[in-house]
Amino acid sequence: MALILLPLIFSLIAWWIPSNFTRIFGLISTISTLTLSAVTVCYFKSNEPILIDLGLRFVRFSIDSLGFTMMLLTNAVFFLVFLSNFKRELVHDIRFTALALLMQFGLLGIFTTNTILGFYLFWELTLLPIFLILYWFGNFEKPRAILQFFLYTLLGSLAMLLAVIGLMHATNQQTYEGLLSADLNALGNTSTLLMGGFLLAFAVKIPLFPFHTWQAETYTKAPVAGTMLLSAIMLKMALFGLLKWVLPIFNGIATDFWRWPVIVLGLIGIIYGAIIAIRQNNLKTLFAYASLSHLGLIAAALMLQNGETNQIAVVQIVNHSIVSIGLFLAAGIIEHRIGTAELTGLGGIAKVAPRFAFWFGVLTFVSLSVPFTAGFIGEFFLIKDLFAAHNLTGILASATLILGAVYMLKAYQAPMFGPTKVTSFEDLHWSEITVFAILSIAAIYLGLSPQCLTDFVAHSLSQPTL
């Protein structure tokens, strides 16, 4: 329990921390959360979920191996975000630190809650901090850009709320196990409708085409730490919800109905995002569309509801977090030091900042899923399973390999190698190098032995379908 509450406590304490210590405080609190969860995981047996029952109806937590993975990922992401922003103004602001920690609490709640209502509550809880971060620290000229994000989210949340209520109403169950045992197929089309409510909320958050239009603008205008949080972990809660809750619970009529529509939207996202990314001039916008492309693949693969695909999907989820932190950090570094992330204003950075050129290059290759990185395994097996489901899906999905090379190499080469436009560039700070190094090592480790992760999550992914 302390695992989940810790960020909340830190978040409350944060308001009383003097501003000189803010950034140290942020770092310490995220490190301690990360350490605690890492230690706990050593004592955790993946076939024995930890159940935390406080005797209250709706406050029940249960941590299985998938939950643990997401928890570790969350804590690692927050630590890396704080570390990578160590030299920025942002972390000196107590509001940011407190909000981020509150968000961390919300996310941990989502990944561990055992009741459907809890899931919804934590889902909403994570939204508040990110709105405020975007609003206070973002660079939105027009309020309606942020409003767009808000409206989308609101729409999704409302749909989910109705679905949650409907689900509880129809099944008379609210715990995870209860819902799993309930026979939703008996509800017929109602279950399809209820699942649609969830899917709408998730489609906004994953995001799936055509619910993605908030993404590019939000990622571009948000402070880079906010973009990292959004992309690396917060949006993963939709994939998690799909994987852990919606697909097992609605297994049957509803999933059969929604399978192909979601796969098709995912595929459209893969190709559409990649094609748009090719011509984007702003690095952050480019990476946002790349994200649309990468996540479309995961979402489509999850709909196959295959135990092995799901395990690999978790690898790919982790990989995407690694890639998005790395790439947005690189974009943020460029934007912070030069004042723009527009490609037309960049060129020749490699000459003046060799260390940055090296690490950005490594992360570029990680995102290109070269061998020895997690993405290689992830893409290979996800596309394989899509191919097995239908040849055409696999062929279309593999377009991501080619188009990905087109936009990623452009994104790397234009600022780094292009005609010299940047003549002075402060090379990487130790905190930034540490972040890049951790990300690279994690990607390579997962690329060489994905089995350690797939085995770990296998239990919680195979159980529900029994």
Partner 1 sequence: MAKDLTLLFILALPLIGFAINGVFGKKLPKAFVGGLATGVVFIAFLLATTLFSGLHGTQIVKLFNIIDFDGLRINASFQIDALSIWMTLIITGIGSLIHLFSMGYMSHDEGYHKFFTYLNLFIFSMLILVLGSNYFVLFFGWEGVGMCSYLLISFHYNDAQKGEANSLAGRKAFIMNRIGDVGLLLALFMLIGQFQTLEFLRIGKALQDNAVLQGSALFFITLCLFIAATGKSAQIPLFTWLPDAMAGPTPVSALIHAATMVTAGIYLTVRSNFLFELAPATKDIIMYIGLATTLLAAFMALRQNDIKKVLAYSTVSQLGLMFVALGFGAYSVALFHVTTHAFFKALLFLGSGSVIHGMHEEQDIRQMGGLAKLMPITHFTFLIGTMAIAGIPFLSGFFSKDEIMAQALHHNPTIYVVLVLAVTMTAVYMFRLYFLTFHGTFRGGDTLKSKVHESGTSMTLPLIVLAVLSVFGGLLNLPGLFFKNAAHWFDHYLSHGTMGLDQVHNAHLPFTTSMALMIFASTIAIGAFAWAYLTYSKKGNIAKADEAQNGWERLSAQKLYVDEIYNSIFVKPLLALSDFAGKVIDIQMLRNGVYALADGVLNTANLSRKWQTGFLSNYLFWMVFGLITFVAYYILKLSVWH
Shortest CA distance to 446 belongs to which of 353, 335, 315?
Answer: 315
Q: Residues 87, 351, 429, 459: which binds partner 1 (CB under 8 A)?
A: 351
- Contacts to partner 1 from residues 313-342, by CB under 8 A: none
Shortest CA distance to 73 belongs to which of 442, 431, 373?
Answer: 442
136 is a site residue for partner 1 (CB under 8 A): yes
387 is a site residue for partner 1 (CB under 8 A): yes
Nearer to partner 1, 79 or 123 (CB): 123
The SS3 of residue 421 is: coil
Joined together, the tokens standing for residue 269 give 């996202």
Q: Are 456 and 383 in contact (CB under 8 A)?
A: no
Considering Cα of 269, then 390, then 462, then 368, what sign does the dihedral take? negative
Q: Residues 41, 278, 433, 444: which binds partner 1 (CB under 8 A)?
A: 278
The SS3 of residue 55 is: coil
Give helix then strand counts, H and E, for the chain. Answer: 22, 2
Joined together, the tokens standing for residue 425 give 């560039």
CA torsion angle 372 374 376 379 (round to 10): 170
146 is a site residue for partner 1 (CB under 8 A): yes
Task: Label residue 55 exposed, middle or buried (CB < 10 Å: 0-12, 13-18, 19+).
Answer: exposed
Nearer to partner 1, 44 or 387 (CB): 387
* Number of residues engaging partner 1 in binding (CB under 8 A): 75
Q: Residues 92, 410, 429, 459: which binds partner 1 (CB under 8 A)?
A: 410
- Contacts to partner 1 from residues 429-448, by CB under 8 A: 448
Q: Are 165 and 198 in contact (CB under 8 A)?
A: no
Alpha carbon distance, N-terminus to C-terminus of the chain: 28
214 is a site residue for partner 1 (CB under 8 A): yes
Secondary structure (DSSP) of 69-109: HHHHHHHHHHHHHHHHTTTSSGGG-HHHHHHHHHHHHHHHH
124 is a site residue for partner 1 (CB under 8 A): yes
Question: Taking the complex as a whole, how short is the minimal distance between the CB of residue 219 and partner 1, in angstroms?
Answer: 13
372 is a site residue for partner 1 (CB under 8 A): yes
9 is a site residue for partner 1 (CB under 8 A): no
Cis amide linkage into residue 210, ω under 30° from 0: yes
Residue range at the interface with partner 1 (CB under 8 A); choices 24-32, 324-332, 371-379, 430-438: 371-379
Nearer to partner 1, 87 or 384 (CB): 384
Question: Taking the complex as a whole, how short is the minimal distance between the CB of residue 335 and partner 1, in angstroms?
Answer: 20
96 is a site residue for partner 1 (CB under 8 A): no
Shortest CA distance to 76 belongs to which of 43, 45, 41?
Answer: 41
Pairing of strands 60-63, 50-53: antiparallel
57 is a site residue for partner 1 (CB under 8 A): yes
Question: Taking the complex as a whole, how short is the minimal distance between the CB of residue 58 and partner 1, in angstroms?
Answer: 6
Residue range at the interface with partner 1 (CB under 8 A); choices 35-43, 47-55, 106-114, 410-418: 410-418
- Contacts to partner 1 from residues 161-200, by CB under 8 A: 161, 165, 168, 174
Question: Taking the complex as a whole, how short is the minimal distance between the CB of residue 449 and partner 1, in angstroms?
Answer: 8
Q: Residues 72, 180, 275, 444: which binds partner 1 (CB under 8 A)?
A: 275
203 is a site residue for partner 1 (CB under 8 A): no
DSSP 51: E
- Rounded to whole angstroms, the Cα distance separating 137 from 119 reads 28
Q: Residues 54, 395, 437, 441: which binds partner 1 (CB under 8 A)?
A: 395
Q: Residues 125, 180, 193, 444: which binds partner 1 (CB under 8 A)?
A: 125
Nearer to partner 1, 214 or 436 (CB): 214
